[in-house]
A and B are shown apart, each in its own frame.
Chain A
Amino acid sequence: MSVDLSNVRNIGISAHIDSGKTTLTERILFYTDRIHAIHDVRGKDGVGAKMDSMELERERGITIQSAATYCNWKGNNINIIDTPGHVDFTVEVERALRVLDGAVLILCSVGGVQSQSITVNRQMDRYNVPRISFINKCDRTGANPERVTRQLQDKLGLNAHMLQLPIGLENDLAGVVDLVTMKALYFDGDNGEIIREEEIPAELQDAADAKREELLDAVSMFSDDLMEAMLEETEITSDMVKAAVRAGTLALEFSPVFIGSAYKNKAVQPLLDAVEYYLPCPTDVENIGLDLDKNEEEFPVSNNDDDPLVMLAFKLEDGRYGQLTYVRTYQGRLTKGDTIYNVRTGKKVKVGRLVRMHSDDMEDIDSCGSGDIVALFGVDCASGDTFTDGKITCSMSSMHIPEPVISLAILPVDNKAQINMSKALNRFTKEDPTFKTFVDHETNETIISGMGELHLEVYVERMKREYNAEVEVGAPQVAYRETISARAEFNYTHKKQTGGSGQFGRVAGYMEPLEEGEYEFEDKIVGGAIPREFISSCDKGFAKSLAKGTLCGSPVTGVRCVINDGSFHAVDSSDVAFQLAAAGAFREGYAKAKPKIMEPIMKVAVEGPSEFQGSVMGSINQRRGMIIGTTEEGNYTVVEAEVPLSEMFGYSTALRSLTQGKAEFTMEFASFKPVPKSVSEELVKKYQDEKKEK
């Protein structure tokens, strides 16, 4: 049976950490009858929020993995992905936004637009996701939704306007005035489930009239009907306003703002109505696929159930019953028992079980259609893979995956832990493309790398809890890189004659810095100085050499290797000989190409009371940070800076003690920059000492 796509909403919930995303989702599930009791995020009642199904999430009160759920509100099927707010888990947010049609940006009515809200907003911009904002926690002391709306305009550049006015604030928050219907809404019952509609309180009438006027002015440009009604001073209906707000929102030119308090059960239902009215259904959004049969020509997916199937796997999870693959269907229909085709691997797989996810619970379904978000069982694939029914060869565009910036060595405590650790690592690397692992052959240590301390900490903890893999953890290490800063020539001959067949190969050319990209190889050999069959051996030899630079043993990036001469031996030249010759040539050229060490620089934002501004800036300065600037608003200041990651270890403790725990910071990767000379010398010395010890 086909579902009317105009009644489907695929939405994400994103925000700065601790803005109340999970609490809000919990209320949404309650009001849509998906759960029958409300539980606390931090699990004080021993249950924990539905969407934070992971034990760790409940303990820490943060969302680590995005969880998908489904609910029905007034006949609309809403697929919701509750996404993490911490930047270390940014890939979860990215993945969710890639497959969603609309989003709800949640803000704290006191904290306002915080650094992570800016990041999330940027991510939404990147994927052209229409969004509505919900200013949560209006019951808190200091709540000021008007100020937050101004911040949405100033800091995020959104054409944001409130569609509601609060009736009371802080402890007196009683309800909201709907500026579209011009009615006051109150939320009665034990859990705010009974909505009482009344006339606007007299003392708020003037403010409501003025705000509505402001709203109409802002949205009139999106609707000719509304504009006409305003000019001709005829009746302006709620439907006219809603249509104008919807048009502006879908065009990404308007962002409606709603207010309430999820924790106090105030004004969550109007937000659900807003999801229906103002956020797009799958057919409102154009999603682009790449036709691999036509040289990756872009085409819009049809959203039509009758067309060939196209779906994207955007998240993998190791469920209780095996691998669970979350997919978004862009066109076509999938029925249990169908055979689907993984475009990347070319493998066919039969879909044995199809489920709709409700956090860690699931419901078996027989089929799903265009625009749906469901999960498959027993489908082996990687995150980001495209599936079709084989009638079409296309791929959905790839996702933006940031490079890991931090690594640490882990050592299993015994044999059993070793086996379990391998299983865990295998699973985690499949699930999360920002989490990487490898074995350092010199030290024989297993190294894991990711986006931040918390990111790796969570995986180590998951290893223990989910896989019973007890590991010892080394100190976090910064993922340095090496690169070259000058052009250098090489001319290296690899010659070995120690019994049996010999090895011979000469490789000459030059290497130079590459502005963009990690590595490039160019063959400028003329006259067969190196036979064709050995050119790829040279490429391989150079590429292998990039794994470990000579300065501090970090990977080498930003190098272009060009070969223009060489020589070979009819008998002794081989693939191996030329690989070794290229490796030797690389060593020779690298030493002359003024190599340097690059370190990850983080964009750091510290937010806190203005009285601590001086101490905060001092602490950043001590950490080799470059302060970009400060933003002062009343008694609250944000200091933005670029700081080397290596200097940020332990910063949360230092900041707490500097500011009496009143400031907080977030950081995200900004770029790689050369380390200062003194640091470089230290790193080189440390690497040399380590090598001597081995």
Chain B
Amino acid sequence: MKISLTRFSALAFAASLLAATTLASAASAQDAEGIVVYNAQHESLGREWIDAFTKETGIKVTMRQGSDMQFANQIIQEGDASPADVFLTENSPAMALVDSAGLFAPVDKETLDLVPAQYRPADGMWTGIAARSTVFVYDKTKLTEDKLPKSLLDLADPAWKGRWGASPAGADFQAIVGALLQLKGEEATAAWLKAMKENATPYKGNSVAMKAVNAGEVEGAVIYHYYWFGDQAKTGENSKNVGQHYFKNQDPGAFVSVSGGGILKSTQHMKEAQAFLKFVAGKGGQDILKNGTSYEYAVSGESNDKLVPLADLNAPKVEASELDSKKVVELMTAAGLI
């Protein structure tokens, strides 16, 4: 294989220059029209919302994919210079963080009216767009109903040492810890996290935790409800031995986490950004939750009929806008979990 090297380099150069210019022009083209969405929701769901919105309105949307807290902190760093117009999350703490930095613009009243009050903060600076319930997924071949933990707090018991898992580094689990902190206070939370460091196997990601339960590595895991449904709808190979246990009776483990959407004050495209959020929180976006493959709860309108209805989950009362992510990270770092 003889390649003339000078020719190779020349070609490479030409290609890279060409590429640089196309990319640069593409990037500037995006800035000139349409909006930028920082999407910390699942990529496929974000993509579905965006495609449907563009189809309906003709407004171009550029999506940037990342995770809740990463984006929240990134937006704070970016400040007024943030390229983002809209921010979508999986959980509330990230929304609360950006809100406390005063970077959100008020959401249009029309949009807020679509969403029941319990799924949005009182100040109207962001709104819930979807919801997810905490569950304990367990290995049906090892655990029966009567052997399941009655409360999330039971998992701190030495009897559970080495038997359960979670994804402590993820925003999902940290939202659950945030709920625990709000419901039970700092001391109890710190003690529970310390026990968790002893008892729990840390996984990177909820889906990985569910796979581990399925493979018999641990007997159970604290994750959200839709992983199981999503896997069942695909090949089912990662959840065939897995059952779902809802803690209910207002246990911290019955926490329903609200995914949020907000508009950044610094946006140059206020009208389009408001239209997008209205679409996501309204019928168009909520129908995608109902009929699509995300299996997350809709916050306005009906949810997918395969799910346990939100009303039956008997979730604890948690003020979403006051979930304290900073404190949670501090406590988890102190416990050596992250």
B is a partner of A: no
**Interface residues in chain B, defined as those with a beta carbon under 8 Å from any beta carbon in chain A:** none
